[in-house]
Structure 1
């Protein structure tokens, strides 16, 4: 591995020139009786945005921080909704579909359950079967559950008689349609949106044009094979590209579909592919998989459902570096106009602010790549290490020297009041309280090991302060022969 890589990087955020303990989170809305499984934002062209959360049988307004109020929509079967914002001549709307209940349409004031007799209405399809929705060239498209059909409404309308795009002759591997999205492609004469349909078997069909009706200009560009998509929330806009989360990694379509065969090495998750594959094999059928782009922090988040506590892989979209966030037990993520949010079984949180998770300090763990220090043939006698840490406060820090590719935990306990003294193969420090801006914690610290390769295991509890890890120096003596 390159020296800039790491075997473990938990709760550190990889900035371009250092890693820092990730930002925290705080309660936004509390008191849900059922797990929150959907977060959406209604974002009109004018006026205030609204946040909504779906939990149990209801949909709740969570725009204002505090205790959760009464549901604005009740009597629903599933809280796992897909959504799209759309603006027409009649105003700005939020559409929700889940494949079990009638779609919900919000116009900024009123919620309407959509069927063949509502106002507006959708005819020509059983609306309770609509399970995914997107907007493509001023037209709403819906995936019909457990089918090979995508239906669409007239241009600029939120109701009407649907047309049907039948994919049964397009997808050869069977299954059904999982989701549909848009993908911006430079077609040679400027950027143009394409329509993307993804099957449960991992086939991807790409269309160009704007009118899929009879006599329209809709035409298929190609059909490609990716890994099977993980959940309905399997893709996210990634700059001008579309990132798709599959059992074989997260692929940007612009680089992944350059030929009839998909180039697996261009997966955005290439550096963490082993970890992602293990998670996909273990929890691939679980609800909670989601890709979310958070441009304010140059971050893409991949939410992973885990029975022991959900976690996220996070990529710095500038450098391509990955890390892992633990402590955010997120069922769902949302990048809204007011920031980043996530929700667990009882609360909605606002994330990426401050240096605490509510009042809990953040613990971070790092094991950089093992290094031969320029001499692979001989063992070394390691005597001292010097991490370079910058902090605004008094973190508790543990370290231990790991050798010859054996990952071992740093000994000791991380406390809010940093302890003093020596622990075998580790040292705890941080009793100095600094005020004001960033201050360094440096100095040589004793270790003792004879090994061919080594790396510093560093664990930090930030205690509400900013903590940066910049570099580490090693002091060792090289043997003249192999020991």
Structure 2
């Protein structure tokens, strides 16, 4: 039994892998318990649906292009496709062995558009394990004319990090490669050696390339989460001792950060909720509270090195204060590093947010279950003694929120008082 649609006294039972036919009033049961009575006069419809032409066990990837489902035949240079608007039927086959030059096999396919939607300018992209991309246009792979199916060109990327390591940005297709996250639109205009200059991950290029070399034995994945305004790049743990990290990019500003403690072997967005699986088969849901599997989450910001408009002068930062806009409790700590050497103090303890209005913690007839969410207010403003001396300064902010509540804190600005040293001749 695949699915039960319960309408009360009647309903629909969807089943598969059956032998024989039904008779009126036959009792249908499943291994998980429960039963249903087949009502032949009322109508029992048996639908036989299958994909033929290629063994489905050999299909390794699927995507939608111009109302057709396309498939990759794993380990080969062949792709398959179904008729328009179909999920079953006979598969057609495209052999791309003569298109690519570096060998390998097809890894994945996708749709690339010159605008932000689906339309007649959409193109079908095939990418190999060796980092070659073939781009086709047209709507009928079985057609005999260029208007129906036409090879636009073959372009060089570097090796992709996985068949699910892609992301749509508007109409463009972003592919995570060894050199970074590269738009297909850049690949058609630049040599493969220069693609890192066009990568949206350029700001973290050294970190990206280092982790790509360390973790290339396992496939990476990319998930875009529009409601949270970020995209997350999984960094699977491929060897003993590797850190549980993920790269995260702000979709609006392009700023990058690193999530520590997320051992993401695979990752998926379902019903606008983020889930990821680890190497040991555990599934976690992300961004639902202020703790990481019951452990505090430490938020860390390190600013860019700043000469503070006095290049080459020794200076001492005496005091600093930070301003925040927040609606949830948090504990901040301000510090400075000097002369390009980042040194962070111990992170602050978790904030005390109380348990009065938390489900399963608040007292009955006391907690306000329907209480409106608190409004964000300006906080901070207290001067903190720093006492750091150097030529170049880097402001640092560490914050720890309330363990049982997802934080809502915005770092607005930091003010500093400092003194320049005298010039010795």
* Structure number with higher relative contact order (C-alpha < 8 Å, ≥ 6 residues apart): 1
TM-score scaled by length of structure 2: 0.75
Distance 2:124 2:52 in 1: 23
SS at match of 1:185: coil
User: How far does residue 263 in structure 1 lie from its aligned partner after superposition?
Assistant: 4.2
Residue equivalent to 2:154: 223
Residue equivalent to 1:450: 389
1:481 maps to 2:402: no
Query: What is the CA RMSD across the aligned residues, in angstroms?
Result: 2.9
Residue equivalent to 2:200: 268
Distance 1:286 1:119 in 2: 38
C-alpha change, 1:253 and 1:207, in structure 2 (3 Å) is same
Residue equivalent to 2:343: 408
Q: Pick which of 121-130 and 169-178 moved more.
A: 121-130
The match for 2:91 among 162, 172, 176 is 162
User: How far does residue 388 in structure 1 lie from its aligned partner after superposition?
Assistant: 2.1
Question: Where do 5+ consecutive residues of structure 1 fail to align?
Answer: 1-41, 43-69, 73-117, 419-434
Distance 2:375 2:84 in 1: 57
Q: Pick which of 359-368 and 239-248 moved more.
A: 359-368
Distance 2:340 2:424 in 1: 18
Distance 1:296 1:365 in 2: 23
Distance 2:281 2:101 in 1: 42
Question: Where do 5+ consecutive residues of structure 2 fail to align?
Answer: 4-29, 33-46, 353-373
Q: Pick which of 440-449 and 163-172 moved more.
A: 440-449
Q: What's the CA shift string for 1:433-455, capped at 9, x where partnerless?
A: xx864241122211223210011
User: How far does residue 458 in structure 1 lie from its aligned partner after superposition?
Assistant: 1.9
Residue equivalent to 2:264: 330
1:339 maps to 2:273: yes
**Does structure 2 conserve the Cα–Cα contact (< 8 Å) formed by 1:141 and 1:151?**
yes
C-alpha change, 1:214 and 1:395, in structure 2 (3 Å) is closer
Residue equivalent to 1:212: 141
Residue equivalent to 2:168: 237
Q: What's the CA shift string for 1:80-106, capped at 9, x where partnerless?
A: xxxxxxxxxxxxxxxxxxxxxxxxxxx
C-alpha change, 1:356 and 1:71, in structure 2 (3 Å) is farther
Give runs of ≥4 in structure 1 deviating > 6 Å: none
C-alpha change, 1:234 and 1:143, in structure 2 (3 Å) is same
Distance 2:53 2:270 in 1: 34
The match for 1:138 among 48, 51, 67 is 67
1:179 maps to 2:116: no
Residue equivalent to 1:373: 308
- Looking at secondary structure, tell me which structure has more strand per residue: 1
User: How far does residue 413 in structure 1 lie from its aligned partner after superposition?
Assistant: 4.9
SS at match of 2:100: coil
The match for 1:471 among 413, 417, 420 is 413
User: How far does residue 341 in structure 1 lie from its aligned partner after superposition?
Assistant: 3.1
**Does structure 2 conserve the Cα–Cα contact (< 8 Å) formed by 1:151 and 1:164?**
yes
Who wins on radius of gyration, i.e. which is larger?
2
Q: How does 1:287-306 map to 2 (within 5 A)?
A: 287=219, 289-306=220-237
Distance 1:417 1:234 in 2: 36
C-alpha change, 1:238 and 1:413, in structure 2 (3 Å) is closer
Distance 1:377 1:71 in 2: 77
Q: What's the CA shift string for 1:359-378, capped at 9, x where partnerless?
A: 54421111110100111121
**Does structure 2 conserve the Cα–Cα contact (< 8 Å) formed by 1:391 and 1:441?**
no
Q: Pick which of 156-165 and 454-463 moved more.
A: 156-165
User: How far does residue 144 in structure 1 lie from its aligned partner after superposition?
Assistant: 1.2
Distance 1:204 1:178 in 2: 10
Distance 2:246 2:58 in 1: 31
C-alpha change, 1:390 and 1:280, in structure 2 (3 Å) is same
**Does structure 2 conserve the Cα–Cα contact (< 8 Å) formed by 1:385 and 1:447?**
yes
TM-score scaled by length of structure 1: 0.66
Distance 1:154 1:282 in 2: 42
SS at match of 2:232: strand
**Does structure 1 conserve the Cα–Cα contact (< 8 Å) formed by 2:132 and 2:156?**
yes
Distance 1:139 1:393 in 2: 48
SS at match of 1:198: strand
Residue equivalent to 1:197: 126
1:313 maps to 2:242: no
Distance 1:482 1:226 in 2: 54
C-alpha change, 1:237 and 1:482, in structure 2 (3 Å) is farther
User: How far does residue 193 in structure 1 lie from its aligned partner after superposition?
Assistant: 1.4
Residue equivalent to 2:49: 120
SS at match of 1:272: helix
